[in-house]
Structure 1
Amino acid sequence: MQDSRHRTRQRMTLLLLVGAGCINYIDRATLSIGNTAIMADLHLSYETMGWLLSALAWTYMISQIPIGLLADRLGGRVFLGASLVLCSFSEILFGLVDSSTNIFWTRALLGVGEAPLFLAGTRVLVHWFAAEERGSAIGLFNGSASLGPALAPPFLLAIMAWWGWRDMSVLVGVINLLLAVIWIVYYRDPVSGEVSAPTPAHSARASLRSALKDDLGYLLRQRNTWAATAGYTGVVYLSSLYVTWLPAWLEKTENLSVIQAGLLSAFPQIFSFLGCFMGGRLMDMISQRGVAPLVACRRTVVLSMLACAILTGTLALQPGSIPAIVLLTFTLFASGVAVSCGWTLGTLIVTENRVATLEAIQNTGASLGGVLAPLLTGILATRYGSFGPAFILACGIGLVSVVMYHKGFSGRTLKS
């Protein structure tokens, strides 16, 4: 009976985190889906929209390390609940403002609100899932970063068709608030004796000096930390490119309407979700056969990123509607595998009490990729009148990421 209750709590915790991840990325998609409507309403250029699309990633990046240190010291219940409330507030504000400057600041606020989710959420999953089943759980959780963008177009476009982009954002904010209440009411950490119950290594009373020296300072001195960070920057650059600019790219290259491009962009994102989930399952299967998880994870990331980079370069050739959709499905599947295994890698090279801090360092680099992808794509599209150069640049960044994962690691885990 106790095991059954434990499994139920495991699954409900994972389900709530996946739901939060989906809402997290639906939040991000409100600007992407409303892209051309907002540009027309406020008379914005592609370059200005590129800055707006990158606003969230700037504050998301800056917030990572302080949020990671807090996540290793605070429980997930109130910390994640508060972050969802902040996301709700910023989305509602987004629907009320009337200038590009104010949109920038509401998106920047959203970046702060979203920063804790995948750091504290990963720590929660480390508490609840044993190492041999953690890959699937983290893969499914990371898959929400693709499932959200897949669900967003039909959901958001339907709202926007009836009420406009402003009401679309307000409604998403209300859903965020509802999920925050459910999380705070339901979630509790595992109790003593349950699998992966929280370790007492850190507490909220741990000193700032200890946090900076023993955790952050130690991790920043390790080669593996920098290799994981540099590699994941490329992973997120490519995934962010497709999350932020895919509808506009389909509109321009395939001569589609806003609604057609928005709905069509959802289909490949489903394969990104499947890639995230399958990447995690693959990790668990390989680990259960005796292969070192770190080795299996690195090889999977290398192969998936190589495929993603090459396919992205191929898409720059504008192969036509049907070939483009086929290539996109394979590209985003490979991207999903890389996202899942790249994130899981962070839980394999450190002890539990440093998981959120390591992931925060890695995600700081990833956020740089998230900043640069929409910004550079918007600049290049404005300058050349085509998305081709931006896709070629993304291909090159992906290949650099492959080299970092393949050659950058020292081959040992950070256990001291």
Structure 2
Amino acid sequence: MKPSRKRLIILTLISLATLINYLDRSVMGVAKPALVAELHISPEVMGLIFSAFSWTYAIAQIPGGYVIDKLGTRLTYTLSLGLWSAMTALHGFMTGVAGLVSARLALGLAEAPCFPANSRVLSTWFPQQERAKATGVYTVGEYVGLGLLIPVLGWMLAHYGWRSLFFAVGALGIVFSVIFYRLYREPAESGANSAELALIEAGGGFAGKTQNLDFSWARVGQLISKRQIAGASIGQFCSNSTLVFFLTWFPSYLADERGMTFIKSGWLVSLPYIGASLGVLLGGWWSDWLIRFTGSPTIGRKLPIITGLLLCSSMVAANFLQSNNAVIAVMSVAFFGQGLAGLGWTLLSDVAPRQMMGLTGGLFNFFTNLAGIVTPLVVGFVVGATGSFYFALAYIGALGVIGTLAYLFVLGPVERVTID
């Protein structure tokens, strides 16, 4: 019997949900120039507003992961998607800094379960030899979507004002939350045939029911003590810092430092996002090929990520370039590298304990999304103090090197962790 392809429907659902997730996070970066002009916000305060999202997003990761393990992916994801989309629309009603910070805090809280749930879906629905490609597909959606939709949002900004961006993107997510609930199922309940379920099980997936361990802080401590979890978390923090820069301050860098607006520059500003998309696709294909060729998940997962982190460091070269086209090229290479390094979530699905996939994903995302708190604040204060992005780019470049060292010397072998 030929295996059915139900997992491709599931992959489509989480790809579209992840696209909406990142669109909701990044719309503030597009709205920022007009928003700042209307509300008279300084770079330091804008860094605070950007950062506020990750305060609650990071704090909610561990409880969010535990909720996924208890309530399941379908219900948790649907509620999260609908709530974060409503919170995005709420931004459009705000008239001051306090309101914007409050909306960012609510958005971070609502989005918290998304990536732990994605990791759980990978471990549940896909055999190991397909996980990197599956990660590449759902991750590439966020970059392609941003690359294609950010110019559209820029056009909306110019014609309808910054508030229209939040209303439109929020409405899109609310509609999709209904679609997600109607279509998502776990493997055993999905109508997948026995051949597909056997394929998933044979590749280390969990097509059947999984008994989850109860939450305890002792088990959280056990997870943190595992070098696979600790090394991946440090490396992902560094990689995520590059992503956070592109989602928050990159549009301002182009507009304020380089004099490039979305209207004047057109689709040129989309090239870094397209570069990241190519990085994600290449990373997934390369990683799965390396595992087949070498038989080593350690080589197959680590090599693309380390390569990507080193390419992230190339961003610092933009400080020494005069040509805007050359700057876009450098930023495209750096974001391409971040796309390669996006395999961190695939690696986590390989090492997370079977009975604690949601909690492990939440813990991992807590540490990695500290970058969402630190990076906007660092960049905001550096730009406010110096009037330049010079040292901000140097900071991002240095983190790429630190992340490389974490994967080389902390992570150890890529193998599934066991918890007593």
Structure 2 regions of 5+ residues with no counterpart? none
Shift of 1:386: 0.6
CA distance in 2, matches of 1:129, 1:226: 24
Q: Is the 8 A contact 1:157 1:262 kept in 2?
A: no
Shift of 1:354: 2.7
Q: Is the 8 A contact 1:29 1:152 kept in 2?
A: no
Corresponding residue number in structure 2 for 1:24: 21
CA distance in 1, matches of 2:365, 2:264: 33
Shift of 1:198: 4.2
Shift of 1:199: 4.5
Corresponding residue number in structure 2 for 1:411: 413
Q: Does 1:269 align with 2:269?
A: no
Corresponding residue number in structure 2 for 1:202: 211
Relative to structure 1, is the Cα distance of residues 26 and 306 closer, same or farther in structure 2, using a 3 angstrom cutoff? Answer: same
Once the two structures are superposed, residues 252-278 of structure 1 have per-residue CA deviations (whole angstroms, 9 ceiling, x without a partner) of 232223533675332210110121121
Shift of 1:233: 0.6
Relative to structure 1, is the Cα distance of residues 244 and 343 closer, same or farther in structure 2, using a 3 angstrom cutoff? Answer: same
Q: Does 1:240 align with 2:244?
A: yes
CA distance in 2, matches of 1:346, 1:190: 20
Once the two structures are superposed, residues 386-411 of structure 1 have per-residue CA deviations (whole angstroms, 9 ceiling, x without a partner) of 10110011111221111111111233
Corresponding residue number in structure 2 for 1:402: 404
Corresponding residue number in structure 2 for 1:229: 233
Q: What secondary structure does 2:413 align onto? A: coil
2:43 aligned partner, one-letter code: Y
Q: Does 1:295 align with 2:305?
A: no
Q: Does 1:350 align with 2:352?
A: yes
Q: Does 1:60 align with 2:57?
A: yes
Q: What secondary structure does 1:395 align onto? A: helix
Corresponding residue number in structure 1 for 2:84: 87
CA distance in 2, matches of 1:12, 1:207: 31
RMSD: 1.9
Corresponding residue number in structure 2 for 1:166: 163
Relative to structure 1, is the Cα distance of residues 71 and 286 closer, same or farther in structure 2, using a 3 angstrom cutoff? Answer: same
Pick from 319, 334, 339 the counterpart of residue 316 of structure 1: 319
Give the % identical residues: 28
Tell me whether 22-31 or 175-184 shows the greater mean CA deviation.
Answer: 22-31
Once the two structures are superposed, residues 198-217 of structure 1 have per-residue CA deviations (whole angstroms, 9 ceiling, x without a partner) of 444435xx5444xx44x423
Pick from 326, 338, 341 the counterpart of residue 338 of structure 1: 341
Pick from 145, 149, 163 the counterpart of residue 148 of structure 1: 145
- 1:3-42 paired onto structure 2 within 5 Å: 3=3, 6-7=4-5, 9-42=6-39
1:286 aligned partner, one-letter code: L
Q: What secondary structure does 1:73 align onto? A: helix
Once the two structures are superposed, residues 213-237 of structure 1 have per-residue CA deviations (whole angstroms, 9 ceiling, x without a partner) of 4x42321221222111111110101
CA distance in 1, matches of 2:286, 2:65: 27
Q: Does 1:123 align with 2:120?
A: yes
Q: What secondary structure does 1:363 align onto? A: helix
Corresponding residue number in structure 2 for 1:138: 135
Tell me whether 152-161 or 367-376 shows the greater mean CA deviation.
Answer: 152-161
CA distance in 1, matches of 2:172, 2:162: 16
Pick from 44, 67, 82 the counterpart of residue 70 of structure 1: 67
Q: What secondary structure does 1:96 align onto? A: coil
CA distance in 2, matches of 1:320, 1:337: 26
2:89 aligned partner, one-letter code: I
CA distance in 2, matches of 1:263, 1:244: 18
Once the two structures are superposed, residues 80-108 of structure 1 have per-residue CA deviations (whole angstroms, 9 ceiling, x without a partner) of 00001111210121111111111111111
Shift of 1:323: 1.0
Q: What secondary structure does 1:289 align onto? A: helix
Corresponding residue number in structure 1 for 2:288: 284
Q: Is the 8 A contact 1:159 1:167 kept in 2?
A: yes
Structure 1 regions of 5+ residues with no counterpart? none
2:294 aligned partner, one-letter code: G
Q: Is the 8 A contact 2:122 2:349 kept in 1?
A: no
Q: Is the 8 A contact 2:289 2:300 kept in 1?
A: no
The total of aligned residue pairs comes to 406
Shift of 1:299: 2.1
CA distance in 1, matches of 2:334, 2:292: 28
Once the two structures are superposed, residues 162-185 of structure 1 have per-residue CA deviations (whole angstroms, 9 ceiling, x without a partner) of 321112211111101011000001
CA distance in 2, matches of 1:34, 1:412: 41
Corresponding residue number in structure 1 for 2:372: 370
- TM-score of the superposition, structure 2-length normalised? 0.91
Relative to structure 1, is the Cα distance of residues 412 and 13 closer, same or farther in structure 2, using a 3 angstrom cutoff? Answer: closer
Relative to structure 1, is the Cα distance of residues 414 and 187 closer, same or farther in structure 2, using a 3 angstrom cutoff? Answer: closer
2:276 aligned partner, one-letter code: S
Q: What secondary structure does 1:411 align onto? A: coil
Q: Is the 8 A contact 1:241 1:374 kept in 2?
A: yes
CA distance in 2, matches of 1:230, 1:276: 20
Q: What secondary structure does 2:241 align onto? A: helix
Q: What secondary structure does 2:93 align onto? A: coil
CA distance in 2, matches of 1:261, 1:384: 26
CA distance in 1, matches of 2:373, 2:417: 32
Once the two structures are superposed, residues 346-376 of structure 1 have per-residue CA deviations (whole angstroms, 9 ceiling, x without a partner) of 1122343333322222211211112111111
Tell me whether 194-203 or 276-285 shows the greater mean CA deviation.
Answer: 194-203
Relative to structure 1, is the Cα distance of residues 98 and 2 closer, same or farther in structure 2, using a 3 angstrom cutoff? Answer: farther
Q: Does 1:101 align with 2:103?
A: no
CA distance in 1, matches of 2:261, 2:283: 34
1:324 aligned partner, one-letter code: V
